Amino acid sequence: MKLFLYVLTQVCITLVSVCGIYILTGLTGMFSLGSAAFMAIGAYVSGLLVLKAGLNMYAAFAAAIIFSVGIGYVIGFPIVRLRRDYISLVTLGFGESIAQLILLLSQFTGGAFGLIGVPRRVNVWFTLISAVIVIAITAFFKTSKFGRQCIAVKSDELAAQAMGINASRVKMTAFLMSCALTSFAGCLYAFYVGYVGPTDFGWKKSADWVIMVFFGGVNSLTGSIFGGAFLTFLPQYMQALNKYRYIVYAVLVLIILNFKPNGVFGEWELSPRNLKRLFSPKKNRREDV
Amino acid sequence: MALLEIRHIYKNFGGLRAIDDFSLEANAGEIHGIIGPNGAGKTTIFNTITGVYHPDQGEVWLDGNNITKLPQYKITHMGIGRTFQNIRIFKGLTVEENVMCAFDPQSKYSIIGGILPTPNRIREERRGRELTRQYLDVVGMLGYKDEKPENLSYGNQRKVEIARALICKPKVLLLDEPAAGLTPTEVSELTDLIRKISADFGFAILLIEHRLDLVMSISDTIHVQNFGKTIASGTAKEVQNDPAVIEAYLGAEE
Amino acid sequence: MSLQILLNGISTGAVYSLIAIGFALVFNILKFSNFSHGATMTASAFIAYFLVASKGWGLAPTLLCSALSGAIIGLIGEFIGFRRILLNHSAPTYFFVSSITLGTLYEGLVTLKTGTNFYVYPNFFDVATVKIFDAVVSKENIIILAISAVALIILAFIIQKTSIGRQIRAVSFDRDTAKLMGINSTLIIQVVFAISGFFGGLAGCFLGIKFTLTSTLGSLVVKGFIASVIGGLGSLTGAVIGAMLLGIMEALFLSLWGSGWATIASFALMLVFLLVRPQGIAGSNVQEKA
């Protein structure tokens, strides 16, 4: 049971960031290999504000998220006008720089030893509720005008602009949303684990999230959440597997990319209407489940 | 001053003169056909008007405003809507959402409404959905609103594209080869649709088309392009008898 | 700037240009950023370490082994990661995810063998430094510079003057038309992946010599990316110019502020470049067709 609660917390924290990646990658078609750096910013900034400035935890969370969004704006400003390739290249460089910065600012961050002694005030219920709220927010975002414009930009940027959509702004919105969510995941992480290490946030972690989103289905929030939950649960329960974790992930995703490029769920979303359609065999059932 | 005024625009790509001094004046209610062989720079004219590229020289004025250097999306806001030669429908959105997302830039709710069901959002979404359905009805596609557009026939995809352009509330509508790849029945449906929206909405229409029968029958003025230059313009009759046009289409007599 | 810094910078720039070239070749032909390139470098550097260098066979065999391993990994990657996606005409995003996944896979396999241990190539040079005017330059830097230059010149010759090079350019320009002209584009793409991997292998080995061998060596690929962006995404000449510039700037930053800040400064340099000249030095701009 204890293991289950631990794993559940891990899953919830992962899901918060996976939602951020879903907005960025699933909806808008941009790839960030520096998302984990925003998680690091969230974790360090909130942790430091509580430890060194004695701020209230919730205020620290809010400050960390606002700070991340601000940094995201600076990074995003030059790149949203350009081809979408640039965001991956620039964010990768950003991630490396943040990792260096954490080491350099060791009098604040604890350098290679990490930030020790963050109060462990986030429990499993807190993360669970947070995850549910974040998933709801993401679902609302998807069905809003923002979500539609994101999908339009992903599908055809030029045509989207011809329809009056300000593509740069849409890309910026999606990028900042994902910055906010991943840094919130970082806050949760810091206050759940009680420790923030400088090596926890490399590009591999960002790549992991992208892989989760693609595993479940890049066009489906349901799929992304399934991917995030499944690929977090799996290695925790198969300790033998943990060593081979990245290899197993990679092979799974390669198989999916080659043979079922839309992921496990395709475009299918969990909604009352779709469920009804799924369980009533008379009406023509959709193939894309 | 005319509704749309294109004043002596030029556009080069490297050494290639894609547009070599093109001018046009269009008023509300008029249909202008632009014809010419492949590579005559017709689509480039559209791309230059809509801001995909900016002209090297010359200006584009819409309703008294100089829109030459505006970014693409702002030109659309100013009142130019378009469709594409090779259909560019958004994948991943239903027919209804495709049209609605062209309304979204006008939809007035903030990011708070983007993540929470605020009253403002609900009201604006309803307004957008009603408008969308109205325009889908205009093009006769309301029955297909929940379909994925990529599963529709070419002709129906064109109609969705037209509805998507209409919801941008254009003053000038640019149709780039709307009849390409359509069956004869679809072409005649499309011709009726273009006539109908021209009469109902009273905007100016610019039409690139290869099917001369279609262009000749619905255009008030026809501009014939060849190698970036306008070689003739006038009514269908005038253009048909112009020796330069005959030469461009049939080749010079030896 | 002293001669010393300049020479160090050029030598580092040479390795960066190998990385950037390997990356730019694939970008050019398939129009996506190949993120498995870093892990390809790591994997080939380690293969060369275990198969050749640890047996004390010297520099040349090690380099060759690393480069060839890179080429083979490139071919395998093309086959398991990109072939089907290409044939399915999937969106460019799939190439991207596939490349990240391949990167994770290679790095995972390397980690399986090495863990988080450090490895060091044996010392290939008996005399460590040479003196050029008043600058003391390590011999390895000179050798690295020389070999990189030769490799780049040979590549330029292949691309510009040979039939295979013309075919590569044709496929990069327009894959479908090239196919219609009778070019076997699948074969050309394989060749490009092999060349890209070859350069990745060379770069991996050099990085291993300059620094230490770890399973995360490949993260230095980011330097190649930055160089490509500065030089102009998709331009081979730009990649080399960008890499040289980055190498020299970094040597300068290094001498001023130390290695950690140098990384951050080169990142900031890239951001500034994107603001003022997003098309890069070479100015190639990939424009979408309407």
- pLDDT per position as a tens digit, A30-71: 989 899 999 999 999 999 999 999 889 999 999 999 999 999
CB proximity list for B50: less than 8 A, separation 6 or greater: A162, B72, B75, B76, B80, B82, B174
Among chain C residues, the shortest Cα distance to B50 is held by C290
Q: Which stretches of chain B sit within 8 Å of chain A by CB?
A: 50-52, 71-73, 76-77, 82, 84, 88-93, 97-98, 100-102, 104-107, 109, 111, 113-117, 121, 124-125, 128, 164-165, 168
Q: Give the CATH number, domain containing residue A39.
A: 1.10.3470.10
CB contact under 8 A, C267 and A207: no
Contacts of C242 in chain A (CB under 8 A): none
At A268 the pLDDT is: 77
- Which residue of chain B has the CA closest to C288? B52
The answer to whether B173 touches B165, Cβ cutoff 8 Å, is: yes
Q: Which chains share 3+ C-beta pairs under 8 angstroms with A?
A: B, C
pLDDT computed for residue A46 by the predictor? 95
| Tokens, residue A214 | 């693609």
Residue A232 CB coordination number (10 Å): 20
In a domain, B45, yes or no: yes
Q: For chain B, what is the domain count?
A: 1
Alpha helices per DSSP H over chain C: 3-30, 37-51, 59-77, 83-87, 92-114, 139-161, 163-173, 175-180, 185-210, 221-231, 236-257, 259-276
For the cut 80, the answer to whether the pLDDT of residue A263 exceeds it is: no
Give the position of tokens 């060839």.
C68
Distance from CA of A139 to the nearest CA of B (A): 8
- Contact list, A155 vs chain B (CB under 8 Å): 90-93
Residues in chain C predicted with pLDDT less than 50, given as ranges, are 287-290
Shortest Cα–Cα distance, C88 to chain B (Å): 16
Q: Are strands B80-82 and B172-176 parallel, antiparallel or unpaired?
A: parallel
- Cα separation values, A255 from A171, A225, A260, B205, C73, Å: 30, 19, 8, 49, 18
What are the distances in angstroms from CA A190 to CA A105, A193, A198?
18, 6, 12
Q: Do A210 and C100 touch (CB under 8 A)?
A: yes
- Domain of B183 in residue numbering reads as 4-92+168-250
Contacts of B164 in chain A (CB under 8 A): 163
Please name which of A202, A213, A179, A223 lies closest in space to residue A87, comparing C-alpha atoms.
A179
Please report which helix (H) or strand (E) contains residue C132, including its range: strand C129-132
Give the whole-angstrom CA distance, residue B205 versus residue B214: 14
CA–CA separation, B251 and B238 (whole Å): 19
Please report the pLDDT score of residue A218 as a whole number: 81
Residue B53 to chain C, least CA–CA distance (Å)? 10
Contacts made by residues C277-281, CB under 8 angstroms, sequence distance 24+: C278/A78, C278/A81, C278/A82, C278/A86, C279/C232, C280/C228, C280/C229, C280/C230, C280/C231, C280/C232, C280/C233, C280/C235, C280/C238, C280/C242, C281/C230, C281/C231, C281/C232, C281/C238, C281/C241, C281/C242, C281/C245
Measured distance CA(A66)–CA(A84) in Å, rounded? 24
Q: Taking an 8 Å Cβ-Cβ cutoff, which residues of chain B contact chain C? A: 43, 46-47, 52, 84
Report d(CA A81, CA A21) in Å as an integer: 20
User: Across the interface, which of A137, A165, A219 has its CB nearest the CB of B105?
Assistant: A165
In a domain, A113, yes or no: yes
Give the single-character DSSP code of A82: S
Residues of B in contact with C290 (CB under 8 A): 43, 46-47, 52, 84
8 Å CB contact of A159 and B90: yes
Tell me the Ramachandran region of residue C272: left when phi exceeds 0, alpha when psi lies from -120 to 50, beta otherwise.
Answer: alpha
- SS3 state at A228: helix
For the record, the structure tokens of C176 come out as 């479908």
Residue B28 lies in a domain: yes
B14 burial level (CB within 10 Å; 0-12, 13-18, 19+): exposed
Chains with ≥3 Cβ pairs under 8 A against C?
A, B
In a domain, A233, yes or no: no
Closest CA to C220 of C245, C200, C239: C200
Is residue A289 very low, low, confident or very high in pLDDT (cuts 50, 70, 90)?
very low
Kind and range of the H or E element at A231? helix A221-237
Radius of gyration of chain C (CA): 19
Among C108, C260, C266, select the one facing A104 at the smallest CB separation: C260
Is A20 part of a structural domain of the chain? yes
Owner of token pair 């998302």: A35
Q: What is the per-residue pLDDT for B253? A: 52
H/E segment holding residue A44: helix A35-51
**SS3 at position C90:** coil
- Return all residues near A27 (Cβ < 8 A) that are at least 6 apart: A141, A142, A147, A150, A151, A154, A174
Nearest chain A residue (CA) to C36 = A207
Contact pairs from chain A to chain C, CB under 8 Å:
136
| Residue A274 within any structural domain of the chain | no
Whether C176 and chain B come into contact, CB under 8 Å, resolves to no
Interface-testing mutation among A247, A248, A259, with chain C (most C C-beta atoms within 10 A)? A247
Residue C1: the pLDDT is 58
Percent of chain A with pLDDT over 70: 96
| Range of the structural domain that residue A67 is part of | 2-199
Looking at residue C127, what is its pLDDT? 66
pLDDT at A272 over 90: no
Cross-chain residue pair A250–C278, CB shorter than 8 Å: no
Residue A43 within any structural domain of the chain: yes
Nearest residue of chain C to residue A159 (CA atoms): C290
Helix (H) or strand (E) holding A85: helix A85-104
C183 or A19: which leads in pLDDT: A19
What pLDDT, on the 0 to 100 scale, is given for residue B172?
Answer: 93
CB–CB contact B97 A148 (8 Å): yes
Question: Which string of DSSP letters, residue by residue, matches chain B?
Answer: --SEEEEEEEEEETTEEEEEEEEEEE-TT-EEEEE-STTSSHHHHHHHHHTSS--SEEEEEETTEE-TTS-HHHHHHHTEEE--SS--PPTTS-HHHHHHHHHGGG----HHHHHS--HHHHHHHHHHHHHHHHHHHHTT-GGGTTS-GGGS-HHHHHHHHHHHHHTT--SEEEEESTTTT--HHHHHHHHHHHHHHHHHH--EEEEE-S-HHHHHHH-SEEEEEETTEEEEEE-HHHHHT-HHHHHHHH----
Strands C129-132 vs C135-138: parallel, antiparallel or unpaired: antiparallel
CB C93 within 8 A of CB A263: no
Residue of chain C whose alpha carbon sits nearest to that of B51 = C290
Compute CA distances A164 → A40, A160, B72, B122, whole Å: 36, 7, 7, 22
| B23-28: long-range pairs with CB below 8 Å, 24+ | B23/B58, B23/B230, B24/B206, B24/B223, B26/B2, B26/B172, B26/B204, B26/B206, B27/B2, B27/B3, B27/B204, B28/B3, B28/B171, B28/B202, B28/B203, B28/B204
Set of chain A residues whose Cβ sits within 8 Å of the Cβ of B101: 145, 148-149, 151-152, 160, 163, 165
**Is residue A264 domain-resident?**
no
Q: Which residues of A touch C35 (CB under 8 A)?
A: 33, 88, 92, 207
Put simply, the answer to whether A167 touches B73 (Cβ < 8 Å) is yes
Q: By the CB < 8 Å criterion, does C112 face chain B?
A: no
A199-220: average pLDDT? 86
Residue of B53, B62, B72 to mutate for A, most A C-beta atoms under 10 A: B72
Give residue A93's identity as a one-letter amino acid code: G
Report d(CA B6, CA B26) in Å as an integer.
9
Residue C127 DSSP symbol:
S
Question: Which residue in C has a C-alpha nearest to residue B48's C-alpha?
Answer: C290
CA distance C239 to C278: 14
Residue B198 maps to a domain: yes
Q: How far is C253 from chain B (nearest CA, A)?
A: 38
Average pLDDT, chain A: 88
Give the per-residue pLDDT at A284: 47
Strand B204-208, strand B172-176: pairing? parallel
- Closest chain A C-alpha to C38 CA, distance in angstroms: 12
Q: Which residues pair with C238 in a beta bridge?
A: none
Closest C-alpha to B227, from B38, B36, B12, B40: B40
What is the phi-psi region of residue A123: left when phi exceeds 0, alpha when psi lies from -120 to 50, beta otherwise? Answer: beta
pLDDT beneath 50: ranges in chain B: 254
The CATH number that applies at residue B235 is: 3.40.50.300
Q: Specify if B146 maps to a domain.
A: no
Answering whether pTM is above 0.95, one says no
How many other CB atoms are found less than 10 A from the CB of residue A199? 12
For A145, name the nearest residue in chain B, comparing CA atoms only.
B104
Q: Which of B19, B49, B52, B82 should be substituted to probe chain C, the one whose Cβ sees the most C Cβ atoms within 10 Å?
A: B52
Structural domain count of chain A = 1
CB contact under 8 A, C33 and A88: yes
Closest residue in chain A to residue C275, using alpha carbons only: A78
Chain A hits for C116, CB-CB cut-off 8 Å, are: none
